[in-house]
Amino acid sequence: MDSKYQPQLVEEKNYQEWEEKGFFEAKISNKKPFSIILPPPNANADLHLGHAMYVVEDVMIRYHKLLRDEVLWLPGADHAGFETQFVFEKYLKSQGKSRFDFNRETLYQMIWNFVMDNRQNMEDQLRRLGFALDWQKKKFTMDKDIIKIVYDTFKKLYDQGLIYRAKKLVNYCTFCGTSFSDLEVVYKERKDPLFYMKYGPFTLATTRPETKFGDTGVAVNPKDKRYKKWVGQEVEIEGLIGKFKVRVVADESVDPKFGTGVVKVTPAHDFSDFETGQRHNLPMKQIIGYDGKLNKLTGPYQGLYVNEARKKVVEDLKAKGLMIKIKEDYKHRVGTCYKCGRIIEPLPKEQWFIKVRPLADSAKKLVEKEEIKIYPKRFKKILIWWLDNFRDWNISRQIVWGIRIPAYFCQSKEKWFIAVEPPVQCNICGKKDFIQDEDTFDTWFSSAQWPFATLMTVGKNNFFNYFYPTSVMETGYDILPWWVARMIMIGYYTTKKVPFKTVFLHGLVRDRSGKKMSKSKGNVINPMDMVDKYGADALRLSLIFGTKEGNDLPFFENKVIGMRNFVNKVWNIGRFIFINRQVKSEKLKVKSYNSKLKIIKDLNKEFKEEKKKYLKMMDGYRFSQALGLIYEFLWHRFADYYIEQLKGEVINGNIEALESLKEVYLENLKMLHPFAPFVTEAGWKVFNKENSSILLERLKG
């Protein structure tokens, strides 16, 4: 046994052996199934530290392997539609190009090649972290059989009236050139001027005077006596490009305490105003284009970006005596693009929407009845809140990279039809006068189908029935509404089964001061750098040790160093036992002295108590506590106390003491294996045949 544990000599060799011998391959058997579908990492880049949190899944997978269950951990990669196109456009920009330099087919193929080049590297990094994935069954969200299932789901939803096409206000980023769902909008509090302007017989306040050209109404609260006489009347407004008339409506959404209690209604550029307009049948007048500029309806302001137009409009209102006053530093929340950070424009656009309410209501019942259990439990209420508050889901994205929507427009009848297979002729008129929707699906729509879509497309026909519902969905709490809730909604709708029996949520990895890691802040840590310096086990242990389930993890290198020291301690304990087993003594003692015999009994008793607690903690998803238990026992009880007490006996050849230490040590290697697979496998091989593996052993209760 080497005097020093060297991860670089062990990790690649052991992983290659595990993979070659098929230790990670799942099959249908008479064993109890345990399955996890890996949340597919984006195929557009290397892994970041957050992906290393897959270690939580690997802990469960290896633990259940040691329990002798039939275990499946299915790997995959996500095409990550908008995310990937955003990354690729940054790459094009570095080359002095843009997406507008290429036609759709060329750009799509370029992104495909870009993704395929990065995907293999990402998968190799998962191997380096020791993840026991069944690589024979890996899937990609753009596999043809996956796309077929996504199309089938879309058509089924459409046929049953749960998908509809409508021109509604959407969250649009004029820089990224696509719409988003509500969940992808990041609201930030900021201070802006509040403009009080003359508006016919009223004075009203607004943060957006430039949208005046799109106003089609004025609203007051029905209980506000100040304006009761005006309700239902048309009033004439003096504008910057001539006079126009708007109708005064009474709507309970108006806060009488905001400004003067009168608000202008711009249905095409504000979500609240859109709903007000719908309630009172106000027309929608779009004056901002998808390029972020004011259009021809704004006269001399045409071609100005919103911020430029706002300044010019304010100046002109002042010049005409229509600006009453300006209140600085008005606090309000503004929606921004989660990717580029720019302000989101509410714009009217015809899109495909999912009627969320029926799906969300069904999902809510499953969670409330605990047909799906949530760990930690505090996230159950949060999930239910989201299911109660979802709006209809916009699933159209104006990007090239992704799964193109299988919707076709009959140009002669001006109607849409859905076809899973590319149609030869129009399903409506029977001719060939049709065009396909150019939009792609929101990535979350396809990934919402991931658990059942993957299992329906791997293995034999009954493979799905054996492993589905999956046992656990483990992911970060930050995508609870984005992904977990949607998987429950779509999964149950499609299969009439829950997609997973348990949801386990981990926290986010942050820097040592608790800040989010980002390249711009310079606080990003590359997980592969940590593996190179300290070994995969040290990194894995540092992500779980001392971290309460579901809480954010402040990460710093010293913690990895501390876990590296623990790995070395585990190795050195084994080396002490191994060396003394090799020493031959003519005076092997069959029995211990009475005092030492008691210590051996104490050791076995304490070990049994340790294992009992360990099994309870692991079954209760308290992985950090289970690891802490092993850490405390091996280092401070086993090494610092029991080995020290029995060292003399062992050196003098007491076989009973030595064998007791060896047995407890090997059982602890089994318990530690899910957390630190490499050092435990290496240690196990020292005491067993070289071609043996700890994964072939049983963790007995």
Q: What is the pLDDT of residues 91-106, one digit of tens each?
A: 999 999 999 999 999 9
Q: Which two tokens stand for residue 337?
A: 């693009």
Residue pair 668/636 in contact by the 8 Å Cβ criterion = no
Q: Where are the alpha helices (DSSP H) in 412-525?
A: 443-447, 450-456, 463-467, 485-495
The DSSP call for residue 460 is S
- Would you state the pLDDT for residue 512? 82
β-bridge pairing 234-238 and 243-250: antiparallel
Are 633 and 605 spatial neighbours (Cβ–Cβ below 8 Å)?
A: no
> How crowded is residue 41: how many other Cβ atoms within 10 Å of its Cβ?
23
- Residue 117 backbone phi and psi in degrees, to 5: -65, -40
Taking the C-alpha atoms of residue 239 and residue 241, their distance in angstroms, rounded to an integer, is: 6
Contacts 24+ apart (CB under 8 A), 580-584: 580/650, 580/651, 580/658, 581/658, 581/662, 583/651, 583/653
Tell me whether the omega of the peptide bond preceding residue 376 falls within 30 degrees of 0, making it cis.
yes
> CA dist 44 to 115, 340, 428, 508, 618, Å?
5, 17, 39, 21, 34
Q: Are 396 and 405 in contact (CB under 8 A)?
A: yes
Between CA 61 and CA 67 the distance in angstroms is 10
* Spans of the chain, pLDDT less than 50: 585-588, 590
Q: Which H or E element spans position 180?
A: strand 178-180
Q: pLDDT digit string (tens) for 212-265?
A: 999 999 999 999 999 999 999 999 999 899 999 999 999 999 999 999 999 999
Neighbours of 148 (CB within 10 A): 15
Helix (H, G, I), strand (E, B) or coil at 376: coil
The SS3 call for residue 403 is coil
Q: CB of 356 within 8 A of CB of 486?
A: no
Quick one: DSSP state of residue 635? I
Determine the length of the chain: 701
The dihedral sign for the CA sequence 168, 173, 177, 182? negative
Contacts of 353 (CB under 8 A, 6+ apart): 163, 164, 165, 166, 168, 392, 393, 394, 395
Q: Tell me the C-alpha distance between 449 and 318, whole Å.
A: 55
The rounded distance, in Å, linking the Cα atoms of 484 and 502 is 11
Contact in structure between 127 and 134 (CB atoms under 8 Å): no
Q: How far apart (Å, rounded) are the C-alpha atoms in residues 542 and 399?
A: 39
Position 585 scores a pLDDT of 46
| pLDDT for residue 424 | 94
Q: How far apart are CA 656 and CA 244, in angstroms?
A: 99
556-696: CATH topology is Isoleucyl-tRNA Synthetase; Domain 1 (1.10.730)
DSSP per-residue letters across 198-209: EETTEEEEES-G
Which residues are registered as beta bridge partners of 204? 197
Query: What CA–CA distance (Å, rounded) separates 291 from 593?
Result: 87
Report how far residue 550's alpha carbon sits from residue 42's, in angstroms, rounded to the nearest whole number: 23
pLDDT at 593: 55
- Residue 146: name the closest of 287, 37, 308, 16 by CA: 37
pLDDT at 525 (0 to 100): 85
Q: Give the model's pLDDT for residue 285.
A: 97
- In the chain, list all ranges with CATH 3.90.740.10: 178-345
* Chain centroid offset of residue 348 CA: 28
> Taking a C-beta distance cutoff of 8 angstroms, is the pair 468, 497 a contact?
yes
| Residues 213, 284: Cα–Cα separation, whole Å | 11
- Cis preceding-peptide flag for 469 (omega within 30 of 0): yes
What is the rounded distance in angstroms from the CA atom of residue 415 to the CA atom of residue 435? 11
**Contact indicator for 196, 204 with CB cutoff of 8 Å:** yes
Q: Which amino acid is at 448?
A: A
Instruction: Name the H helices within 514-654.
Output: 527-534, 536-544, 557-582, 594-619, 623-631, 644-651
CA separation for the pair 75, 40 (Å, rounded): 7
CATH 1.10.730.10 domain extents, the chain: 556-696
What CATH number labels 178-345? 3.90.740.10
Question: Side by side, which strands form the sheet with 262-265?
Answer: 234-238, 243-250, 217-220, 262-265
Between CA 162 and CA 168, with CA 164 as vertex, the angle to 5 degrees is: 130
Tokens of 674: 């899910």
The confidence score (pLDDT) of residue 257 equals: 93
